[in-house]
Each structure stands twice: as C-alpha cells, then as structure tokens.
C-alpha cells in the first residue's frame, strides 16, 4: 500500500493522518507476521524517535476502532495486530504463540433477532492448537516411546 492510499484510508475512516499514525499503519501494512504493540512501538520509534509508547498504543486503539487494524487476542500473551485488508481468520499456536493467517470462509450468521438487542460489529474464527513445527516436536517423543514399547 503506497503513502497516498494509507493517507486516504485513514481519512476515509475519520482519522487524521498524523506522522505517528501513518508510521504505525505503514509498518503494519508491510508485515507478513502479526507484531505486538511493543514490536510496533520499537519499529516506529527507530524511524521516528519522537513517537512515544502511549502515542503508539493510542494509535493502535484508534486504528482498531476504525476497522483498519484487527487485534488478535492471544491467551496469556501480548495481543498481536494485523492490518491486512483481506478477510481471513487466524490460527494461534499453543506452543510457540505464533499467529498464522487462515483462508476466509463464511461463518453462518445468527438469525435476525436471535441475538436480542446486540449489535454485531465483527465475526472472526480463531483456531487454536499446535503449528506444524510444534506438532512435529510434540510427536517426536511420542514416536520414541511407542518404538521403545514395541521392542
């Protein structure tokens, strides 16, 4: 996403395009992974030392509320942030905490009125388990035990 596109997306969402907010959004747009707020702050602060931790956190909150960034809650670990515009779900590894993008598929919506007076803003599926690397580490000791018992 180029500079003008980021600026337009911020402004069309009702957010001013401040240098710090732009820096946060630009950093997130170039990420293939899902950085934490601390990682975002450190990266932004390297290019603009005037940016404070509070400003970075406030900008993340504003970007999430505007729908430009998604916050991915990781149980027991720091939340991670994602600015990919394409719809997708997430897989969170219980072992290493890595967050991976999972292809989007439609989630059945509740029937009208079934949620009472609630207003649903967003819906996301989060799959949890072991990533490929952690699953391989987990299976290795099991295979060794099975082989030992078979002897």
In words, the CATH class of domain 86-151 is alpha beta
Is 96 annotated for ligand binding? Answer: yes
CATH topology of domain 1-84: Arc Repressor Mutant, subunit A (1.10.10)
Q: Chain centroid to CA 132: how far?
A: 19
17 annotated to bind ligand: no
Contact 30, 24 (CB under 8 A): no
CA distance readout (Å), 19 to 26, 29, 143:
10, 15, 54
Q: Check the annotation: does 93 bind a ligand.
A: yes
Question: Would you list the domain boundaries of the chain?
Answer: 1-84, 86-151
∠ CA 101-34-93, nearest 5°, is: 60
Tens of pLDDT along 35-85?
Answer: 999 999 999 999 888 889 999 999 999 999 998 998 988 777 888 999 876
**Predicted TM-score (pTM) of this structure:** 0.72
Q: Is 134 annotated as a binding residue?
A: yes
């Amino acid at each position: 996403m180029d500079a003008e596109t980021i600026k337009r997306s911020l402004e069309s969402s009702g957010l001013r395009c401040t240098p710090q907010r732009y820096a946060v959004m630009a950093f997130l747009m170039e990420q293939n992974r899902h950085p934490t707020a601390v990682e975002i702050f450190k990266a932004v602060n390297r290019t603009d030392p005037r940016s404070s931790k509070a400003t970075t956190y406030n900008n993340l909150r504003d970007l999430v509320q505007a729908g430009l960034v998604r916050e991915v809650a990781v149980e027991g670990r720091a939340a991670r942030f994602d600015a990919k515009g394409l719809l997708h779900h997430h897989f969170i590894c219980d072992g290493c905490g890595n967050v991976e993008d999972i292809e989007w598929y439609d989630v059945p919506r509740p029937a009208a009125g079934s949620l009472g007076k609630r207003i649903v803003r967003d819906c996301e599926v989060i799959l949890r388990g072991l990533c490929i690397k952690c699953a391989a580490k987990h299976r290795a000791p099991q295979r060794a035990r099975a082989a030992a018992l078979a002897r």
